[in-house]
Amino acid sequence: MLRVGVMVSGGGTNLQAILDAVEEGRITNVEIEVVISNNPGAYALERAKNHGIEAVCMSPKDYETRDDFNRAFLEKVDEYHLDLIVLAGFLVKIPEAMVEKYEHRIINIHPSLIPSFCGVGYYGLKVHEAALARGVKVTGATVHYVDGGMDTGPIILQKAVEVQENDTPELLQRRVMEQAEWVILPKAIDMIANGMV
C-alpha cells in the first residue's frame, strides 16, 4: 500500500477527484493518510474529514520565520511515513530540505502543458489568463515530479484541452480541471502505486 499525503490550499477539487477515484477503484494500492493545508478555511480540510482522513492545517503565518515553518512542516510530514506527497493546488513553496528528503516522491499538478505558462507567478487563474492573452489554441494540464525548481521536474502525464472562441479565464480553468486535471492526477497516482512510472 502506497501511503499518500495530499497538500491543498483551497477548495480541494483535485483532492475530491483523487478520493472519488480511490472509492471507484480507479486508484488501487493507495491509502490517503493525511490532507495538509496552509489555509484554515480551505474546504479541502472538510472533504478530508468527510472521508475519515486526518486533516491538518499548517500556515507559514503561524511561525516567526519561514525557516521555523519549514522545519515544523517537514517534521509534521515525516510523522506520516509517506511514500508519495501530492501537491493538489498547494500554494506554498515546498522547503528545499523536503524536496531533497522526498526526492522522486513528490508530484504536482499544474494547469498548463509544461513548459508553457509555468514557473514563478503562474498559478491558478493567472495561468489561464496568460494562455488566453497569448492566443493559444490548445492548453491542458501536467503532472510532474517536484524538484528544486518551479514546475521543472520530470513530466509524468499531460493532457491537452482545446481553447474555445469565447473562453474567459474562469471557463477555461473549469474545462482544464474537468477534462485534464481530474483525469491525469488520479491516473498518475495509480500508475506510481502500481509501479508503472
- How far is residue 18's CA from residue 21's CA, in Å, rounded to a whole number? 5
Residue 25 corresponds to which amino acid? Answer: G
Strands (E) in the chain, as ranges, are 2-8, 30-37, 54-57, 84-87, 106-110, 138-145, 155-162
Annotated active-site residue in 51, 81, 110, 144: 110
| Nearest of 131, 141, 185 to residue 163 by alpha carbon | 131
89 exposure class (CB count in 10 Å sphere: 0-12, 13-18, 19+): buried
Distance CA 184, CA 18 (A): 10
> Amino acid identity, residue 1?
M
Q: Compute the radius of gyration of the chain from its Cα atoms.
A: 16
d(CA 15, CA 40): 16
Q: Is 110 a catalytic residue?
A: yes
Q: Which three cell numbers stand for residue 66?
A: 519561514
Residues annotated catalytic, as ranges: 110
